[in-house]
Amino acid sequence: MHQYSLKALFRPQPATYQDDKTIIKIPLPNGLVISARYFPNPHAKHTLLFSHGNRADIGVSIALMEAFQRHGYAVMIYDYPGYGTSTGKVGEKNTYAAIHAAYDYLVKNLSIPADQILLYGRSLGGAPSIELARHKTVAGIIVEGTFTSVYRIKFPVPFLLFDKFKNINKIAHLQAPILIIHGEKDEVISISHGHQLFKQASVPKDFFWVPNAIHATVIETAQDAFWEKLAAFSESL
């Protein structure tokens, strides 16, 4: 079971980009350095802090970040340790450290007000987003295709000794509004995870279930309805 959790959760691929002037290097307290990229939008009400899934990195996410930018958001995306050109190894603690460092960079280095930061976590990225929201001020939280905990992806009852990213235990304690998005035909993380997270989440909360969408095609399947839902949630904050 322990092997399953590591294989299911962290699957970094070779970096799809090289460091250049667009890549920001952010040090972590433990000595590691993560890579990030910022997509500015001077007219944005909110800045998305985007946490990607387990098979992605900054390079493969550029088109999506530019889409967020076109739809009125500024965005920062970062790579967890072990992903892209970030240093270090993958792991739960390192993933949490990475999002804290990216958040601090937005607030301290880019002077983005904390209450204008909107967390967006996709799949694995929902876990660090939920964890950060327990400790920091944010405008709101969006999670897409996120699990209740690692072992519940495969087993209805978690193996408690090794279970990781226990989102289901944390989500009720968040203070910021949350939007939970899930594809109804998600073949990787069943939509039952979305339903359970929504049930446990504290208010204010909202959901967006996307018919016919699998794990990787939520935005493509929903199309305009996705952007309209995102805009409505953003305006409600």
pLDDT digits 0-9 by tens, 17-58: 999 999 999 999 999 999 999 999 999 999 999 999 999 999
Backbone angles phi, psi at 143, to 5 degrees: -125, 135
Question: In this predicted structure, what is the pLDDT of residue 171?
Answer: 94
Question: In this predicted structure, what is the pLDDT of residue 8?
Answer: 56
Question: In this predicted structure, what is the pLDDT of residue 154?
Answer: 53
Question: In this predicted structure, what is the pLDDT of residue 1?
Answer: 32
Residues 193, 199, 204, CA angle at the centre, nearest 5°?
A: 120
Neighbours of 42 (CB within 10 A): 5
pLDDT digits 0-9 by tens, 81-118: 999 999 999 888 999 999 999 999 999 999 999 999 99
Average pLDDT over residues 199-212: 95
Backbone angles phi, psi at 27, to 5 degrees: -75, 145
Question: In this predicted structure, what is the pLDDT of residue 150?
Answer: 60
pLDDT digits 0-9 by tens, 147-159: 887 655 555 544 4
- Which residues carry out catalysis? 123, 186, 215
Question: In this predicted structure, what is the pLDDT of residue 161?
Answer: 46
Is the Cα torsion angle 136, 131, 142, 58 positive or negative in sign? Answer: positive
This prediction's pTM: 0.92
Question: In this predicted structure, what is the pLDDT of residue 45?
Answer: 97
Is the Cα torsion angle 201, 206, 209, 215 positive or negative in sign? Answer: negative
Question: In this predicted structure, what is the pLDDT of residue 3?
Answer: 39
Question: In this predicted structure, what is the pLDDT of residue 4?
Answer: 40
10 Å CB burial of residue 93 (0-12, 13-18, 19+) is exposed
Asked whether residue 5 carries a pLDDT value surpassing 50, the answer given is no
Asked whether residue 235 carries a pLDDT value surpassing 90, the answer given is yes
